[in-house]
Amino acid sequence: MQKGEIILLHLILFEMKFILEKVGFSEYFKAYDSFGVLPSQIHRKRAEHLKAIRLLCTGILRAFNINPD
């Protein structure tokens, strides 16, 4: 994937996180929040956005009670 596509995916997952937090699932995203890379930070490295995507996916899966391992 190109860096732009990775950032777009990061943004989509970030929006899902926002929706899940609105309905009370904020505890599943503590690792992502502490990582500190946002989709709007386009100057960040590709690898940092990929790690953020993994953290978001893990939080989303846990919110839906799916074991991500």
Topology of 3-63 in CATH? Answer: Substrate Binding Domain Of Dnak; Chain:A; Domain 2 (1.20.1270)
Q: Which residues of the chain have pLDDT under 50?
A: none
Query: According to the model, what pLDDT value does residue 67 have?
Result: 72
* Residue carrying the six token digits 């995203």: 29
Query: According to the model, what pLDDT value does residue 37 have?
Result: 98
Mean pLDDT, the chain, integer: 95
Query: According to the model, what pLDDT value does residue 69 have?
Result: 63
Instruction: Spell out the domain ranges in the chain.
Output: 3-63
